[in-house]
């Protein structure tokens, strides 16, 4: 068997599955796990291995582990990865049906009473033996990817239930005091949102799209269901030459408000710039703030994107 045969059977853009860490892992946990894997696959740790096994270890480290760690350790790519995970969870929630999974662990996780604890335990168990047999490393990563898929589905559904619960309690018992913190008044929310947008507009006028994008990303974190924020962020990404992210936010804006004219225009411009291809990219901007290296949409489009990566095994 050649070193790479049997190793790469699913979409390895699921960086958490490659490293064997939960999708909730912080930067410190990701680094700790990466260093442990690097030591395990280092030639000095493989003194009794055959030449074929040593080559397999080298391939796994250089072609899978290192790129995954790089993606999760860099702030920009990690933030964008987290955003796509969130959108994936929302997409799963909207389907209303459980994702199809094949591994016993993933099927058990679908029924687990305490999703967070069960998910962490399942990931930890697989991670312990993930790199023991390199011939089946893709199988283990595929199982991890299915666990990620189920967790996104279950946690998104839980978020939706918990967010609607206070409203139901208020309707059922209108005179009962509550200890739940009151949301900000609408005028305060509007003022905070305006501050983000105003700063972004100032940066945009100076063609400093990177900083404008940062402002809008913070706005989207605070107000994830504001379609205008998503459509404005889509426009900024397009101006910065990042068509993949422009497409993601334009799509989200249209999900919130199908009549969002700006989002429709951005979506059409992205499609036109890419020649109608869903994996194409707009011509990168050379304006201030559009780093040619970080603005390359190919870095986000590798391997078919995130929306088809979880739980799928390529044969």
Mean pLDDT throughout 137-152? 91
Higher pLDDT, 80 or 252: 252
Q: Is residue 40 part of a domain?
A: yes
122 and 21 together in one domain: yes
Query: Does residue 306 surpass a pLDDT of 60?
Result: no
Domain containing 67: what range?
Answer: 15-160
Which of 115, 143, 160 finishes a domain? Answer: 160
The region of weakest confidence among 24-33, 182-191, 216-225 is: 182-191
How far is the C-alpha of 154 from the C-alpha of 150, rounded, in Å?
6
pLDDT at 66: 94
How far is the C-alpha of 313 from the C-alpha of 315, rounded, in Å?
6
Q: Is residue 142 part of a domain?
A: yes
37 and 80 together in one domain: yes
Question: For 187, left (φ over 0), alpha (ψ -120 to 50), or beta?
Answer: alpha
pLDDT at 20: 95
213 and 250 together in one domain: yes
pLDDT band at residue 21, thresholds of 50, 70 and 90?
very high
Which of 160, 178, 209 finishes a domain? Answer: 160
What interhelical angle do 261-273 and 243-256 show, nearest 10?
150
> CA neighbours within 13 Å on the CB side: how many for 101?
26
Domain count, the chain: 2
Query: Does residue 309 surpass a pLDDT of 60?
Result: no
Identity of the highest mean pLDDT range in 94-98, 160-164, 234-238: 234-238
118 and 24 together in one domain: yes
pLDDT at 186: 56
123 and 234 together in one domain: no
The region of weakest confidence among 56-70, 134-148, 189-203, 230-244 is: 189-203
Q: Is residue 8 part of a domain?
A: no
231-284 tens-digit pLDDT:
999 999 999 999 899 999 999 999 999 999 999 999 999 988 877 544 444 444
Q: Please give the mean pLDDT across all residues of the chain.
A: 76
Q: Is residue 138 part of a domain?
A: yes
pLDDT at 303: 35
250 and 140 together in one domain: no
Q: What is the CATH number of the domain that holds 203?
A: 1.25.40.10
pLDDT band at residue 191, thresholds of 50, 70 and 90?
low
Mean pLDDT throughout 89-104? 81
The region of weakest confidence among 45-49, 151-155, 175-179, 190-194 is: 175-179
Closest CA to 247 of 87, 94, 95: 87
Which residues, at least 6 apart from 313, have a Cβ–Cβ distance to it below 8 Å? 9, 10, 138, 142
Query: Does residue 216 surpass a pLDDT of 70?
Result: yes
35 and 110 together in one domain: yes
Question: For 91, left (φ over 0), alpha (ψ -120 to 50), or beta?
Answer: alpha
The reported pTM is 0.51
pLDDT at 279: 41
136 and 93 together in one domain: yes
Q: Which single residue is written with the structure tokens 């999900």?
A: 255
Continuous H helices in 206-313: 209-222, 227-239, 243-256, 261-273, 298-301
Query: Does residue 42 surpass a pLDDT of 70?
Result: yes
Q: Contact at 8 Å (CB) between 10 and 307?
A: no
């Amino acid at each position: 068997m050649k070193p790479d045969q049997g190793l790469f059977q699913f979409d390895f853009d699921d960086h958490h599955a490659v490293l064997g860490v939960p999708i909730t892992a912080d930067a410190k946990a990701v680094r700790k796990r990466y260093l442990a894997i690097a030591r395990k696959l280092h030639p000095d740790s493989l003194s009794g291995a055959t030449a074929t096994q040593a080559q397999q270890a080298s391939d796994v480290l250089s072609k899978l582990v290192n790129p995954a760690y790089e993606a999760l350790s860099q702030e920009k790519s990690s933030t964008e990865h987290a955003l796509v995970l969130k959108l994936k969870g929302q997409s799963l929630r909207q389907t209303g049906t459980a994702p199809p999974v094949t591994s016993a662990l993933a099927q058990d996780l679908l029924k687990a009473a305490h999703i967070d604890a069960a998910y962490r335990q399942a990931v930890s168990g697989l991670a312990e033996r993930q790199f023991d047999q390199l011939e089946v490393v893709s199988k283990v990563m595929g199982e991890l990817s299915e666990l990620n898929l189920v967790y996104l589905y279950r946690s998104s559904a839980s978020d939706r239930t918990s967010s609607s619960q206070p409203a139901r309690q208020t309707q059922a018992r209108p005179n009962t005091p509550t200890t739940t913190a009151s949301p900000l008044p609408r005028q305060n929310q509007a003022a905070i949102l305006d501050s983000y947008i105003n700063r972004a507009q100032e940066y945009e006028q100076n063609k400093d799209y990177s900083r404008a994008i940062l402002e809008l990303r913070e706005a989207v974190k605070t107000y994830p269901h504001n379609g205008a924020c998503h459509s404005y962020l889509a426009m900024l990404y397009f101006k910065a030459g990042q068509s993949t992210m422009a497409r993601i936010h334009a799509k989200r804006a249209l999900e919130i408000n199908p009549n969002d004219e700006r989002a429709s225009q951005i979506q059409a411009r992205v499609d036109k710039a890419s020649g109608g291809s869903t994996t194409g990219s707009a011509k990168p901007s050379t304006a201030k703030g559009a780093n040619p290296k970080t603005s390359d949409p190919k870095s986000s489009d590798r391997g078919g994107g995130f929306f088809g990566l979880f739980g799928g095994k390529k044969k």
